[in-house]
Structure 1
Amino acid sequence: MRPRRKDKWKAKNKARFFLNVGRLLQRGYTLNHGAKLLMYGEPPHARNTISSWIATLQDGRAWVESLELLKIPSDISAYLYFSERYGMLSHGFYYAGRMLEQRERFKEKVRTLARYPILLIWIIATLFLFMTLFVFPQFEELFATMDIDYPAITSFTFTLFEGLPFAFGAFIVVTVGFYAYYQQRFKKLHSFQQIRTVEKIPGSKRWLHLYITYTVSLQMSQLLKGGLSAHDALQVFIKQRQMPFLQAEGERIQTDLNEGKSLHDAIAGASYYQQEFADVIRHGQAAGQLAEDLAHYSEMLWEELNERTRKTTVMIQPFLFLVIGGFILLLFLSIFLPIFQLITSLDG
């Protein structure tokens, strides 16, 4: 298998392209004409990607195969797949662009929040190397010559610094082990087994349930807006291949419906959804606006995911600053206390 090359087409520019394609399609342009028109305003690497994508469409390749060239997240790829299949391509491209744009805006906020702590961590790593390679060896030689004991805090810092390389090595080993487990075992598990495995990670259940509910409500609303019944939408879930979970979940819900259960009962019977999801479906079916209710509900879930991530990042920042500040203070004391002790011994 060929290694996947890095995508040089920035996601925010890709989002803008999708939004503009959606607008042109709404004005009556064909996909081929609209994409070619927008292609000329893109940088060369993006132009090459768009040109290859258009060529696959003109060659009669499958829509799902052509989407792989765009290198977009699997849920957005599935969204465009459903949009094309049921004649809502202008709507699909526009909202795919919106979703991608929102994600990039959110990533930028996270990067901004993380920039200062990362800078401090880099400074500390530089100080660590400088202290380990130059300062502490000089201290050891000087104190050994003068037969003076280190201050307790300096001895503690020496011990800490000696253990850090081993801790870093252990971290690398654990990281490689997790990656190997993910590639060799986790990816081969059935979707429901993957969910149960992730739920065992402390603090992950709420996030996982939010994301699963968001994904299903978003994709279901798109299909229902295209005029499909809930039964037909489930058949699309089952037949698509971009998202294995949607395929497995479609089969599960279809089995429940065949046994005489209602759609909201089938949803309520799964533990990996938000508790109110079944109520949203029941309300939408009763009002005859299930597609609209699911669309609004998915937007609310996306906003909640963003807000929870922002709050988590804001909560982590003070802890990082405290750890970094404590480490710098420890370095300061471990250097200046021995110097002060040497001066005192010389005066004595």
Structure 2
Amino acid sequence: MKKQQWPLKTQADFFELLGQLIANGYALERALMTVQGVLPKQRLALTTIVAGLHQGQPLHQLLAPYVRREIARELAFASVHGRLSQLVMEIGRREHRRLRQSQKLRQLLLYPVVLLVMLAGLMGLFCTYLLPQLQQMGATMPQLSHWGVGVGVSVLTCCVVCWLGGRIWRRRNWLQRLQLLQRVPFIGSLVQLSIGYQMSLQLGLLLTSGIGLATIVKRSATADGPELVRLLGTQAERGLREGQDLRQVIQSMPLLPSECQHLFAKGKSEQAIGEDFQILAQRKFELLERQVQRYLMIIQPVCFAVIGLIVIGLYGIMLLPMYRNMGELMTW
């Protein structure tokens, strides 16, 4: 039986409840069994997860088929820093916020999509019924075939560009892909804030758990870690072999927020730096949420502007020639 990913709301409820139970002293297996009563639809999957824990399998591998890949990568570090309850509660709160944002996006797009469907329906009725009758009356109408050819060429061009972009994307590793996404207009800032939040959160949890920077670098370069983490760890190890200082290597790692330079420059202990990283993670998440809200506020006006341009274009293509023909008929 193929395993399906849980809905976003289920993922958020699961992680928030699991974190609360672990924080209140529940063992991981007992907490998962308790969650079964709250999420009965996931009872079979949770039973499988508990059985896998009995066999010694890590939690992030057992949850990977049911949660987003990003969450599975974050959970992989829980076996290192041991702060599972804090991490899963943070994931639960974050996923609830993300769920609210996606719901708001659907609400904002509902009305423009309905208008576009109605507009397409009117366009279809005009071309199917009204246009042939006007042509039978001798009215001179625009040749829609030319427009069809133009639209077809545009669609073909977009498909070719997407195909070439997909080939280039597949040839890049995850580090190069994320660096490329950070340069894309509009979404680049969102990607940068999201990566900064996740990396700051994980580094904060690791450092405040007493794990040194050298251990973090060594652990990140292991073969069983996620691809992105493995690439970053390998790059850090290369810098150490070249004789660079450990903190300089961490500071020069790509994707880390620029604020990290100030955190390491203070000369604090690694425990204090970890606490600063956790504060930075919360700040990055607040900025990310604020940026998403700003984009959500402009999506609907942009959609209405596009619909308005489409209406004006259809008016110029269809109705103006028809009015011109009516004027010629009136002059006879």
What is the TM-score normalised by the length of structure 1? Answer: 0.80
Please state whether the residue corresponding to 2:268 is helix, strand or coil: helix
2:251, 2:261 within 8 Å by CA — same for their partners in 1?
yes
Distance 2:156 2:121 in 1: 18
- 1:271, distance to aligned residue in structure 2 (A): 5.6
- CA deviations 1:61-83 (Å, max 9, x no partner) are 24342132332332x22332222
Distance 1:19 1:115 in 2: 29
2:116, 2:307 within 8 Å by CA — same for their partners in 1?
yes
Greater shift in the superposed pair: 224-233 or 265-274:
265-274
What is the aligned partner in structure 2 of residue 92 from structure 1?
87
- CA deviations 1:3-42 (Å, max 9, x no partner) are x7542x3211221121111111122222222211221222
What is the aligned partner in structure 1 of residue 273 from structure 2?
290
What is the aligned partner in structure 2 of residue 114 from structure 1?
109
2:59, 2:75 within 8 Å by CA — same for their partners in 1?
no
Alignment partner of 1:21 is 2:18: yes
- CA deviations 1:317-341 (Å, max 9, x no partner) are 3332122012224434655545544
Distance 1:284 1:99 in 2: 31
Alignment partner of 1:70 is 2:66: yes
What is the aligned partner in structure 1 of residue 154 from structure 2?
167
Gap regions ≥5 residues in structure 2: none
Q: Which amino acid aligns with 2:245?
A: K
What is the aligned partner in structure 1 of residue 43 from structure 2?
47
2:213, 2:246 within 8 Å by CA — same for their partners in 1?
no
Q: Which structure 2 residues correspond to residues 188-207 of structure 1 after superposition, within 5 A?
A: 188-198=171-181, 201-202=184-185, 205-207=188-190
- 1:217, distance to aligned residue in structure 2 (A): 1.2
Distance 1:273 1:88 in 2: 21
Gap regions ≥5 residues in structure 1: none
- 1:196, distance to aligned residue in structure 2 (A): 4.9
Q: Which amino acid aligns with 1:127?
A: L
* Cα 1:16/1:235, change in 2 over 3 Å: same
Please state whether the residue corresponding to 1:289 is helix, strand or coil: helix
2:208, 2:272 within 8 Å by CA — same for their partners in 1?
no
What is the aligned partner in structure 1 of residue 30 from structure 2?
33
Q: Which amino acid aligns with 2:293?
A: R
- 1:254, distance to aligned residue in structure 2 (A): 3.6
| Match 1:261 to one of 218, 229, 245 | 245
Please state whether the residue corresponding to 1:315 is helix, strand or coil: helix
Q: Which amino acid aligns with 1:189?
A: R
- 1:195, distance to aligned residue in structure 2 (A): 4.2
* Cα 1:190/1:165, change in 2 over 3 Å: closer
Q: CA RMSD in A?
A: 3.2
Please state whether the residue corresponding to 1:227 is helix, strand or coil: coil
What is the aligned partner in structure 1 of residue 232 from structure 2?
249
Distance 1:312 1:341 in 2: 42
- 1:292, distance to aligned residue in structure 2 (A): 1.4
- Tell me how many residue pairs correspond in the alignment: 330
Q: Which structure 2 residues correspond to residues 105-144 of structure 1 after superposition, within 5 A?
A: 105-143=100-138
- CA deviations 1:117-148 (Å, max 9, x no partner) are 222233333333333333333333333xxxx5
- CA deviations 1:141-168 (Å, max 9, x no partner) are 333xxxx544xxxx38775455334433
Alignment partner of 1:319 is 2:302: yes
Alignment partner of 1:274 is 2:257: yes
Distance 1:61 1:268 in 2: 34
1:198, 1:205 within 8 Å by CA — same for their partners in 2?
yes
What is the aligned partner in structure 1 of residue 213 from structure 2?
230
What is the aligned partner in structure 2 of residue 215 from structure 1?
198
* Cα 1:105/1:60, change in 2 over 3 Å: same
- 1:107, distance to aligned residue in structure 2 (A): 2.0
Q: Which amino acid aligns with 1:261?
A: D
- Identical-pair percentage: 21
* Cα 1:60/1:241, change in 2 over 3 Å: closer
Distance 1:287 1:193 in 2: 29
Distance 2:305 2:116 in 1: 12
Distance 1:131 1:241 in 2: 60
Q: Which amino acid aligns with 1:171?
A: C
Greater shift in the superposed pair: 156-165 or 224-233:
156-165
Greater shift in the superposed pair: 319-328 or 284-293:
284-293
1:117, 1:320 within 8 Å by CA — same for their partners in 2?
yes
What is the TM-score normalised by the length of structure 2? Answer: 0.83
